[in-house]
Amino acid sequence: MAEARGGEAPLAVVLVEGRSDQVALEALAQRRGRDLAAEGVAVVAMGGARNIRRFLERFGPRGMDVRLAGLCDAGEEADFRRGLEQAGLGSGLGRADMEALGFYVCDADLEDELIRCVGAAAVEQVVETQGELGSLHTFQRQPAWQGRSRQQQLRRFIGTHSGRKARYARLLVDALDLTSVPRPLDRVLAHL
């Protein structure tokens, strides 16, 4: 069960695909001086976008009926749309309709959004502080990644090891200029 405020049932739930999305959202809220748990907000990592229907059944109008919001990758937008429609939250939903419900889409994914906002050079500095610059350079020399943009290389590098995405989600949010926050992250927090 998702919890907020000392183990109580949440007043609002933000559904995200995975742990790295949860970490990023919670880190940004913290940087903005918000305590989501104290506000009664639970950020729930669903273990993948295809689980959206199950979580909407649990927390949506046919379940706990709490205030909902969410964040997904562009490639999973259709799964979220279908889930919202099947939960009775609308029909023929477009992206603007989803946003009106509090569900925002990352282009292409949250890591891509963060890398774009932080900037490739600054992300490489973060990688260096983690002692992984040598590993990044080795990765960049692999034939499959030569000739790709630094942003593409960094996005893939961050996703290559278990736990790295979640760790870098926090680090990249910490590196963000708060006047240049990825729109989906900014809007989902504003929706709450």
* Measured distance CA(190)–CA(144) in Å, rounded: 39
Q: What is the pLDDT along the chain (192 residues), one digit of tens a residue?
A: 565 556 678 999 999 999 999 999 999 999 999 999 999 999 999 999 999 999 999 999 999 999 999 999 999 999 999 999 999 999 999 999 999 999 999 998 999 999 999 999 999 999 999 999 999 999 999 999 999 999 999 999 998 888 899 999 999 999 999 999 999 999 999 998
pTM of the model as a whole: 0.91
The reported pLDDT for the residue numbered 69 is 97
* Measured distance CA(100)–CA(138) in Å, rounded: 44
The reported pLDDT for the residue numbered 163 is 87
The reported pLDDT for the residue numbered 162 is 81
The reported pLDDT for the residue numbered 2 is 65
The reported pLDDT for the residue numbered 161 is 81
49: CB partners within 8 A, 6+ apart: 17, 72, 73, 76, 79, 80
3-state secondary structure 44-69: EECCCHHHHHHHHHHHCCCCCCCEEE
With H, G, I as helix, E, B as strand and everything else as coil, classify residue 88: coil
Neighbours of 106 (CB within 10 A): 25
The reported pLDDT for the residue numbered 4 is 57
* Measured distance CA(81)–CA(92) in Å, rounded: 8
Give the largest CA-CA distance in the chain.
51
The reported pLDDT for the residue numbered 191 is 94
